[in-house]
Structure 1
């Protein structure tokens, strides 16, 4: 059950207050369109950006390379009203769109599809040889079902080509705590005439941790990464195309725990613990002191098969995929100091299956439609454990396994109609029936947090079904070939589920189950482009209300003392409103300008955090008040180029009470280099002013109680690097 907590390592942190071309879509070649047009595939058919009745950002391979976006976590800088929250250097990535946030305890409210394969909980996926990235804001449940409540990110990797293509790139970086390097590349071309083509993409890298553990005897911390992907495309006839893909991603990180929390106030931490517990040592802005032995190993294996058949009237698409994800992270240090109190481990093994069949009528007709059926399944097992006192990497002893099972299926239909008597007007509608089964099993056991804090698991076997009908409506008006206007309303949801919670006392039965979250989103927007396509402007305003908002909670006794690990509750609601604007221009040859801005006012309408505190009216956590981006790039005719970019992120709360706050920040990036037909070289600086920014949920210093500080993951420090590229 993908959203079930199963007592994660972050839950152990809270408990311690006592003592983180789509594969199904890439089967077709983008429709022929006028020069300068941008194609959106996330609508389940190739649609001109100008004709999309939603707010969407599309980044092609050229834009991604010029911005030097190499992993998923970098995307939020260039997309307005989108924020990626991290739970550490290797922890999962959680996505907030338009104030609909996700955090390390609850599965993403935005789905990510990489080559058509769904990722509801996203690790820091490698963006290696990506063809395009599309970010669709607003509910996409009509076509994609649950967990696309706030939006959708579609990542299309590079497909095999009908001619030989070969590229390679080497990158070296240096930063305050070390250095690193990667090599990556792509080889593709025909294998058997014009019917069979294939490609191989690869990436290998090693780098020091940007956070350094100063504890003597502990590894410095490093990350080794290997990615290998193969793709095949078979076209036995003009009407049939079959695609296959498979990849493996492996990460090994000695000296690193995947979810690393450091103090936000470094000076306060040093005054509190420097002499008393850390032997007089002082931490810095990107260093910490932990005695817990650390190591994280992650492996992801993915395979998929899809086929597209043109019937002569419409197209049938079929897609199947399988994904396995394993992670074993050791080294959660409960006290955040050199004191050997307790250390934690988090192990999880997840298997995912996905299938879809759909039929799309011809897009050029005044009335066109899509119908389909989908199936999604996830099986996972997991355990957490601790050891108390000093120990080694082999001191962790597993607690009982916890098991979860999810199965979703849905049927959907969508249609667009442009009346003959009103050809500039397009009416859109869609509907989906979604059914979700959730089951979980917990075995009796215990977790020892040290200091006499013993949390108990009780035997539990829970199961249930959740259903939803999800409609969508839109109206688009084509005022001119350059300007289109639209309004839309859509419903999204996340199924309910069950909590498997460790506690010091029995919990009421209503804690075990939480209800399905539902949301209505309304938006209106416009898209404009100049006749020559060199200037673009788009914008949208939105209003969102969510009921049965799923939020992390903890049980307390009458005196307010925490007596359980965290669990999901659904007796809450939020409202979010705001707007986003995007602009791009090429005023003269070689000069490109990009700008965007997003504003979000997301607030709790109701959230009872304890017996006496309701945070009604306060800002939703992990949602910045605004974000913005400015970039300028100039390239001469002889291949020399320079680029400067400025990213703005507004003030945001790091927890629901609003007591831990990340102030607004501004980061600067610079590039300069040379690019020609076969060779390229680039010097770059990321985070030029070395801004230290919290990037995820904040906690108190939990082993010693409230020490006046907050602890959270932080983003990467300033990096300076060089990149060399070659292509055939």
Structure 2
């Protein structure tokens, strides 16, 4: 079905592409007009009140539509290439993404400590969803709890897509890619325009993609080496019945089908040792190569996601009332976790999830003032998650998995919040905010068992647990504007993640409440930053220094009973602590009408102050996992007057620990990218290459062999290989 849709989209697009080339306008924007247009778009919306970048007290990277197109930003995995002190660690090519900001890591065993909002809809557990028709991206560093609540503890990413327009417009794009293990093709676009003139506008966007797995599984028992087929369709409406009322509605469907692929991809980091151990007997004499793997487990992953959202803005004369509500449902069925990571049938696993999320917020904003303005609001968040694990021993097929009972989790958050700005002088603004958050966490499971082979059986027992957590989350800041081109700010803010439960403790028969549950995590962040722009707006720069501490850090660690006696090391606890400090800098320089440069650099000194991993191991002083010592990037772009352009990119990532013990380290790496093409008002063509040196980089949690135990190897997901491709685009 996807292939037929792709062919139809390509057939429809190519005539449009040719026609648009013939209809190209000879007129081009002058350098002065383009620079002025770009400057006008540098607006921060993350504070819930649109603010010029230089007037913002946030450490934020703002990527406007031009910056997004120039970087050819098409998926979430590359956002961290464009912002300092932000890293994404992944569990596979299409697995979940966990965001680490300023040394505050996220990992798959707990939760994301940074949130993502797409058109106002929260994504606390982020999948690599389609970035379709993006208008802007804001990457906010530091806690944002006063306005966004729990799970924005380390930062926030706000994605805004293109809204329906009052004039007809359309855009179509076709992209082909190639890499060592396969290829991909993608068609996407949108059509937008008025449905009722000056009252109702609508748009329809789509994305159809088919891509091979970056790591080809040549040991597959099903014959499928790994492929991803994705269909995305989104509709939007914008209704303006009066000059005071605006209503936006959106709905989309994302359907992903991946034969031969499990959503978590773990491969050996040391290929030579892996082949020495497993090539002859377990893999029939075949040797794993840079972008291949040998796993017999029958693999197949499907995912469906439905989203609906509604927002309204009412101008009241004495302020503005905003309302937003969204519902998101996700169903995922991932078969094929290969416990032994070889072509020999030992034990295979499956994970099936159903999740539903509801979010409602109402907010009143006073009129902007030269003396005092404020925001007051309330929010409600609810999610329901059901997780079912299954396994089978030895050889089998996609129907061989035997399921254990489902485990369920529920969350319900109520919040009230407020923030205010006091303009002490025309240059000095003092701000404060406070949020009260009430979070209930519940978990349930039924009696049953899960067989992991070799006599290892997980026994489920009946459990029904619930607990409520409360938090007050303050934020204070001061902003001083020396001139139209220079400002500084200082901020102190608190972040928060509610506590939860260790079902594994229940399964092992523990009754100690301090082992069965863990407490909320809180974090304090302090920063001083600046923003500067030249008088002619050709250069802008910003930077900050920060200091972050958490004394009740949630992490997988040793569990103890009420006497302090160690009982297990497989639980999440909240009695650890961390410290992170560092600095960041980013700049854009429009050197002349044709030549521009973008650069950023971040440095982090992040370490565990206390983390007891087992009875004898405390990793105090070790670097926090997934946090590189530094990161940076430089991009240079030159566009000739005839529309031909060339862009080169260099990315720098420092040494990174891939697990908390500090015994698995990804070495520092440099990556290179290149674009060349032609762009006009009506059409564009781009040739591109990413990771041109084909670096093989671990990008997520490193684990030991799940079936054979400590074999001297560590296994981890990999970042993308070298990708080269071509992109054609037509606009109306």
Which of the five TM-score ranges fits, normalised by the shorter chain? over 0.9
Residues 1:369 and 2:356 aligned together: no
Residues 1:440 and 2:418 aligned together: no
Cα deviation for residue 332 of structure 1 reads: 0.2
User: CA 1:268 to 1:35, structure 2 compared with 1: closer, same or farther past 3 Å?
Assistant: closer
Cα deviation for residue 216 of structure 1 reads: 5.6
Cα deviation for residue 585 of structure 1 reads: 0.4
How many angstroms apart in 1 are the aligned matches of 2:109 and 2:479? 38
CA contact (8 A) 1:455 1:503 kept: no
Give the structure 2 partner of residue 658 of structure 1.
662
SS in 2 for 1:373: strand
Give the structure 1 partner of residue 325 of structure 2.
320
How many angstroms apart in 1 are the aligned matches of 2:481 and 2:390? 59
How many angstroms apart in 2 are the aligned matches of 1:668 and 1:581? 20
Query: Following superposition of structure 1 onto structure 2, how do residues 118-137 of structure 1 map, counting pairs within 5 Å?
Result: 118-137=122-141
Give the structure 2 partner of residue 199 of structure 1.
203
CA contact (8 A) 1:381 1:402 kept: yes
Give the structure 1 partner of residue 342 of structure 2.
337
How many angstroms apart in 2 are the aligned matches of 1:649 and 1:297? 33
How many angstroms apart in 2 are the aligned matches of 1:487 and 1:634? 36
CA contact (8 A) 1:501 1:565 kept: no
Residues 1:430 and 2:433 aligned together: yes
Give the structure 1 partner of residue 284 of structure 2.
279
Residues 1:95 and 2:99 aligned together: yes
Cα deviation for residue 73 of structure 1 reads: 1.1
How many angstroms apart in 2 are the aligned matches of 1:239 and 1:638? 44
How many angstroms apart in 1 are the aligned matches of 2:169 and 2:568? 56
Cα deviation for residue 700 of structure 1 reads: 1.1
How many angstroms apart in 2 are the aligned matches of 1:122 and 1:234? 29
SS in 2 for 1:700: coil
Cα deviation for residue 565 of structure 1 reads: 9.1
Give the structure 1 partner of residue 475 of structure 2.
472
Residues 1:212 and 2:223 aligned together: no
Cα deviation for residue 702 of structure 1 reads: 2.7
Cα deviation for residue 600 of structure 1 reads: 0.6
SS in 2 for 1:501: helix
Select which of 723, 726, 729 maps to 1:725: 729
1:417-460 C-alpha deviation (Å, 9 max, x unpaired): 112xx221100000010000111111111111111111211211
SS in 2 for 1:533: coil
CA contact (8 A) 2:677 2:686 kept: yes
Cα deviation for residue 276 of structure 1 reads: 2.4
CA RMSD of aligned residues (A): 1.6
Q: Which runs of 5+ in 2 are unaligned?
A: 1-35
Select which of 182, 186, 190 maps to 1:182: 186
Query: Following superposition of structure 1 onto structure 2, how do residues 135-534 of structure 1 map, counting pairs within 5 Å?
Result: 135-215=139-219, 217=221, 218-419=223-424, 422-501=425-504, 505-509=508-512, 510-534=514-538
Give the structure 1 partner of residue 603 of structure 2.
599
Query: Following superposition of structure 1 onto structure 2, how do residues 104-123 of structure 1 map, counting pairs within 5 Å?
Result: 104-123=108-127
TM-score of the pair, normalised by structure 2: 0.93
User: CA 1:432 to 1:506, structure 2 compared with 1: closer, same or farther past 3 Å?
Assistant: same
User: CA 1:113 to 1:591, structure 2 compared with 1: closer, same or farther past 3 Å?
Assistant: same
CA contact (8 A) 1:455 1:502 kept: no
Give the structure 2 partner of residue 16 of structure 1.
none
Give the structure 2 partner of residue 677 of structure 1.
681
Query: Following superposition of structure 1 onto structure 2, how do residues 607-626 of structure 1 map, counting pairs within 5 Å?
Result: 607-626=611-630
SS in 2 for 1:395: coil
SS in 1 for 2:553: coil
How many angstroms apart in 1 are the aligned matches of 2:654 and 2:665? 11
Cα deviation for residue 36 of structure 1 reads: 4.1
Structure with more contact order per residue of length (Cα contacts < 8 Å, sep ≥ 6): 1
How many angstroms apart in 2 are the aligned matches of 1:173 and 1:96? 28
How many angstroms apart in 2 are the aligned matches of 1:357 and 1:499? 34
Give the structure 2 partner of residue 21 of structure 1.
none
SS in 2 for 1:272: helix
SS in 1 for 2:147: helix
1:535-581 C-alpha deviation (Å, 9 max, x unpaired): 00100000000121010236699xxxx99794321110100000100
User: CA 1:205 to 1:502, structure 2 compared with 1: closer, same or farther past 3 Å?
Assistant: farther
User: CA 1:33 to 1:45, structure 2 compared with 1: closer, same or farther past 3 Å?
Assistant: farther
How many angstroms apart in 1 are the aligned matches of 2:725 and 2:144? 38
User: CA 1:236 to 1:359, structure 2 compared with 1: closer, same or farther past 3 Å?
Assistant: same
Cα deviation for residue 505 of structure 1 reads: 4.0
Cα deviation for residue 137 of structure 1 reads: 0.5
User: CA 1:372 to 1:216, structure 2 compared with 1: closer, same or farther past 3 Å?
Assistant: closer
Give the structure 1 partner of residue 712 of structure 2.
708
Residues 1:82 and 2:86 aligned together: yes
How many angstroms apart in 1 are the aligned matches of 2:373 and 2:580? 33
How many angstroms apart in 2 are the aligned matches of 1:216 and 1:398? 22
1:622-660 C-alpha deviation (Å, 9 max, x unpaired): 111110000001111111000000000110100111000
User: CA 1:445 to 1:599, structure 2 compared with 1: closer, same or farther past 3 Å?
Assistant: same
Cα deviation for residue 125 of structure 1 reads: 1.5
Q: Which runs of 5+ in 1 are unaligned?
A: 1-31
How many angstroms apart in 2 are the aligned matches of 1:278 and 1:516? 46
How many angstroms apart in 2 are the aligned matches of 1:79 and 1:35? 19
The total of aligned residue pairs comes to 691
Which deviates more, 369-378 or 436-445? 436-445
How many angstroms apart in 2 are the aligned matches of 1:298 and 1:365? 50
Which deviates more, 546-555 or 503-512? 503-512
Give the structure 2 partner of residue 10 of structure 1.
none
Query: Following superposition of structure 1 onto structure 2, how do residues 507-656 of structure 1 map, counting pairs within 5 Å?
Result: 507-509=510-512, 510-553=514-557, 566-656=570-660
1:697-721 C-alpha deviation (Å, 9 max, x unpaired): 0001231121111100001111110
SS in 1 for 2:438: strand
SS in 2 for 1:696: coil
How many angstroms apart in 2 are the aligned matches of 1:270 and 1:34? 53
How many angstroms apart in 1 are the aligned matches of 2:38 and 2:205? 31
